[in-house]
Structure 1
Amino acid sequence: MSTLRVTAERLTIHDHPNADALELAQVGLYRAVVAKGVYRTGDVALYIPEQSVLPDALIAELGLTGRLAGPAANRVKAVRLRGELSQGIVCRPAALEGTDLARAATDDADFAGLLGITKWVPPVPVSMSGDVEAAPDLLPWIDIENLKRYPDVFAPGEPVVITEKLHGTACALTYVAATGQVLVTSKGLGAQRLALKESPHNLYWRAAHGHGLPAAAAALAGRLGATRVGLFGEVYGSGVQDLGYGADGRRDVPGYAAFDVAAEIDGDVRWLDPADVLSDGTLPVVPRLHAGPFDLDVALALARGAETVSGRGLHLREGVVVRAAADRHSPLLGGRAIAKVVSDAYLTRKGGTEFE
């Protein structure tokens, strides 16, 4: 899940093909449905992204009472309005009256705190929870921004790798070479430097032991001369999320596919492509869909279609992850040059689950 930022953005306005009273306001590659005539191309307004949780007063001010997602009808979610996908909310709240939004856009100011907007945190099922302990040596996973919000992360023609994004739950395992310690955690707990105590009932530990992650991490640490190795993979199957890929997450060994590897070598943490460092078949890895020059249209197209994990195209594809072939820093993102694209069909599917 990406970080939450509520920012002022310069808009591009498009006609809505199916509604005379509506238009589409574009931010990056996102489009949000707005009332016709409120904005013109070049105007600046606030953009509230998906997965934002709004306070009741702001919901009422925007005329959205009872129209948002979640049990409390307060979460922003992608929806189709008269056939067009609307991602996020474009508005000018009264609390920002008198604010120079054009200057705020230039300064990249964040208004989430001022407006009382928070980030939605997915619920954690019992099978994914457990007792925790402090883990200062843990290598945590990172938030990934959406390429639609930041379409200029990669230069045209830049060498990239595009892999399939799976709908499961992220498992982070850290192996500490000096002590042989193995730390297992979820994405959310890892961000707090907390590890899950070992339990045969915990989904992440079942995946770690079932797929031999500790031994794979230890072998990789020895091969790379690393003091710590982090294996990051998606645990999936029926009972984990609504998309199961033909696996059963309720069994002793749920589905697993590695999507990233980190290694601390000479004091520096380096991010490595699992398809390269795990090429011996030690662990299953996420499907690689493209390796070559970056083309935005190719990345967007690959986010659509059927999943390839099962080999049978059992259901829709969640999306893709795009990363620089040679890991690098992105000044635009302020971190790694890595981004995701989530398919429209996935965002608007019925009966979907979104657990931690």
Structure 2
Amino acid sequence: MSTLRVTAEKLVVLEHPNADALELAQVGLYRAVVAKGRYRTGDYAVYIPEQSVLPVELIEELGLTGKLAGSKSDRVRAVRLRGELSQGIVCLPAALAGTDLADAAGRGEDFAELLGVVKWQPPVPTSMSGDVLSAPDLLPWVDIENLKRYPDVFEPGEPVVLTEKLHGSCCLMTYTAATGEVRVSSKGIGAQGLSLVEDERNLYWRAVRAYDLPAVAARLAERLGAERVGVFGEVFGAGVQDLTYGASGRAELPGYAVFDVSAVVDGQLRWYSAAELLAAELLDGELPLVPELWRGPFDPETVLAFAQGKETVSGRELHLREGVVVRPVTERWSPVVGGRAIAKVVGDAYLTRRGGTEYE
């Protein structure tokens, strides 16, 4: 899930192809449906992204009572309005009247706290929770920003790799070479510096033991001369999320695929590149990997196109694809997001499907 920031943005206003009274306000590569004539290209407005939870007062002010998602009708999610995908809310809240939005945009000011907007936290099923321990040595996962919000993360023509984004639950495992200690956590729990006590009923521990991740990590640590190794994978299947890929999260061998590896070598944390991971040599081909969909020169339209379509994990196109993750062939830091050069795009059909689950 991306970080939450509510910011002022310069708009590009486009015609809505199916509605005379509506237009599309573009922020980055996101588009939000707005009333026609409300904004012009070059105007500045506040952009509230998907997965934001709004306070009642702001919902009423924006005329959105009863129109948002969630049991309290207070969560922003993607919707189709007259056939066009609308992601996020473009608005001019009264609380910011008199604010120089152009200046705020230039400074990247975040208005989330002022407006009372918070990030939606998905529920955690019993099978994904458990007793926890402090884990300061756990190698945590990072939030991946959406390419639509940050389209300049990659340079035009930069060699990139697209892998399929799987709809499961993120499993973190850290192996410490000196002691053989294994730490297992989820993305959300790991972000709190906590790991899960081993329990055969816990989804993440079952995946770690079923695929013998500690043994693979131990061999990798020896080859790299690493003090710690982090293996990051997606656990999926029936009982995990609504998209199953023909697997079962309740089975002895749940669906699992590695999407990233990091290691601490000589006290320095290193993330291994997409090219290194997908070559299968890094893990000696011992673990399943997320599918590679395409590699070539970066082009936003190509990335957006690959985010749509059917899943490839099962090999049978059983259901829609969640989206894609974009990484450079050569791992690097990005000044645009202030961290790793990595981004995601989520498919339109996935965003607007009915009855979907969104567990962490």
TM-score range (shorter-chain normalised) is over 0.9
Task: Confirm or deny: 8 A CA contact 2:148 2:345 kept in the other structure.
Answer: yes
Q: What does 1:335-354 correspond to in 2, within 5 Å?
A: 335-354=339-358
Q: Which amino acid counterpart does residue 25 of structure 1 have in structure 2?
A: A
Of 303, 317, 321 in structure 2, the residue corresponding to residue 313 of structure 1 is 317
Residue 283 of structure 2 corresponds to residue 275 of structure 1: no
Shift of 1:292: 2.5
TM-superposition CA deviations, 1:300-330 (whole Å, max 9, x none): 1111111000001100110000011111110
Opposite residue 337 of structure 2, the aligned amino acid is: L
The residue aligned with 1:35 is 35
> Structure 1 CA distance, aligned partners of 2:165 and 2:54?
28
Aligned to 1:296: 300
Identify the residue that residue 135 of structure 1 maps to in structure 2.
Answer: 135
Aligned equivalent of 1:329: 333
**Aligned twin of 2:229:** 229
1:110-159: CA deviations, max 9, x gaps? 00011110000000000000000000000000000001111111111111
SS in 1 for 2:289: coil
Residues paired across the two proteins, number: 356
Segments of structure 2 that go 5 or more residues without pairing to the other structure are none
Which residue does the alignment assign to 2:242?
A: 242
Structure 1 regions of 5+ residues with no counterpart?
A: none
1:152-191 paired onto structure 2 within 5 Å: 152-191=152-191
The question of whether the paired residues in 1 share the 8 Å contact of 2:216 and 2:283 is answered with: no
Q: What is the letter of the counterpart of residue 114 of structure 2?
A: L
Equivalent residue of 1:321, what SS? Answer: strand
Do residues 192 (structure 1) and 195 (structure 2) align? no
- Taking structure 1 as the reference length, what is the TM-score of the superposition? 0.99
Runs of 4+ in 1 over 4 A off after TM superposition: none
Partner in structure 2 of residue 74 of structure 1: 74
What is the CA distance between 1:202 and its match in structure 2?
Answer: 0.1
CA apart distance, 1:291: 2.4
- Specify the code of the residue in structure 1 equivalent to 2:16: H
1:182-222 CA distance string (max 9 Å, x none): 00000001111100000000000000001111111111111
Q: Which residue of 2 aligns with 1:259?
A: 259
Task: Note the aligned Cα RMSD (angstroms).
Answer: 0.8
* Residues 166 and 234, structure 2, Cα contact 8 Å, conserved in 1: yes
Quote how far apart the aligned CAs of 1:279 are.
5.3
For residues 23-75 of structure 1, give each alpha carbon's deviation from its aligned partner in whole angstroms, at most 9, with x where no partner exists.
Answer: 10000010000111110000000000000000000000000011100011100
Q: Distance in 1 between matches of 2:49 and 2:308?
A: 21
Distance (whole Å) between structure 1 residues aligned to residue 113 and residue 253 of structure 2: 42
Whole-Å separation in 1 of the counterparts to 2:78 and 2:282: 36
Residue type of the partner of 2:72?
A
Aligned pair in 2 of structure 1 residues 279, 297: CA closer, same or farther (>3 Å)? farther
How far residue 278 of structure 1 moved from its aligned partner, in angstroms, is 3.7
CA pair 184-279 structure 1, distance change in 2 beyond 3 A: closer
Determine whether 1:284 maps to 2:263: no
Distance 1:98 1:296 in 2: 35
Q: Does structure 1 conserve the Cα–Cα contact (< 8 Å) formed by 2:234 and 2:258?
A: yes
